[in-house]
A and B are shown apart, each in its own frame.
Chain A
């Protein structure tokens, strides 16, 4: 059974902290994605990776960075968390066109 896991379901951090969100997939997928989901704005792509050590900016990369050292793991990093980064973060993976993306359960991050 296909599985995408995220390190935390809920996370509370303080402004200025460095935050790591981890995502692991067990399907040997080439592509991995990070989205954030906010009410009224839907899902917005932050970054994606199409291979180990490869990354591309999505629609809203400002304030974020990513790391993909191994094929199965894709990390989202908030270098200095701010309150406007309070959101639901969703990780996904797929094997490329035309295959669907498989999503993790999400991490609800609150920055105080």
Chain B
């Protein structure tokens, strides 16, 4: 079965600093999904990556999928308190998006 490892598990950054969260898969990915979760709430979709080498950006968040499609990174530029939450990556290992495997998440705190 597919396993996803996220690093770091938690992160505290000062407002305005940049940060990177990594997601590594034990198998080749058909698709990689990034979500954000505020404590005690549901998941909010951020971005989906499918092609090796693909990179997508939305506002100050950039996600990349490596050429071998086994690792993804999420980069936040000039972090703000609104970026605080739990970031989860979800992997599609079958090509159907019907069964996603999720990492355990990275908890981000942004201090003033």
For the complex formed, measure the closest distance between the CB of A68 and the CB atoms of chain B, giving whole angstroms: 14
**A98, B31: Cβ atoms under 8 Å?**
yes
| CB closest residue in chain B, given A91 | B42
What is the bound-complex CA distance between A72 and B41, given in angstroms? Answer: 21
Which residues from chain A contact B45 at a C-beta distance below 8 Å? 100-103
**A100, B98: Cβ atoms under 8 Å?**
no
Interface size on A, residues (CB 8 A): 29
Mostly, the A contact residues are: strand
For the complex formed, measure the closest distance between the CB of B107 and the CB atoms of chain A, giving whole angstroms: 10
Q: CB < 8 Å: which of B31, B40, B42, B103 contacts A42?
A: B103
**B102, A43: Cβ atoms under 8 Å?**
yes
Interface residues of B in 77-112 (CB under 8 A from A): 88, 90, 92, 95-100, 102-105
Interface residues of B (CB under 8 A from A): 1, 31, 33, 35, 40-45, 48, 50, 88, 90, 92, 95-100, 102-105
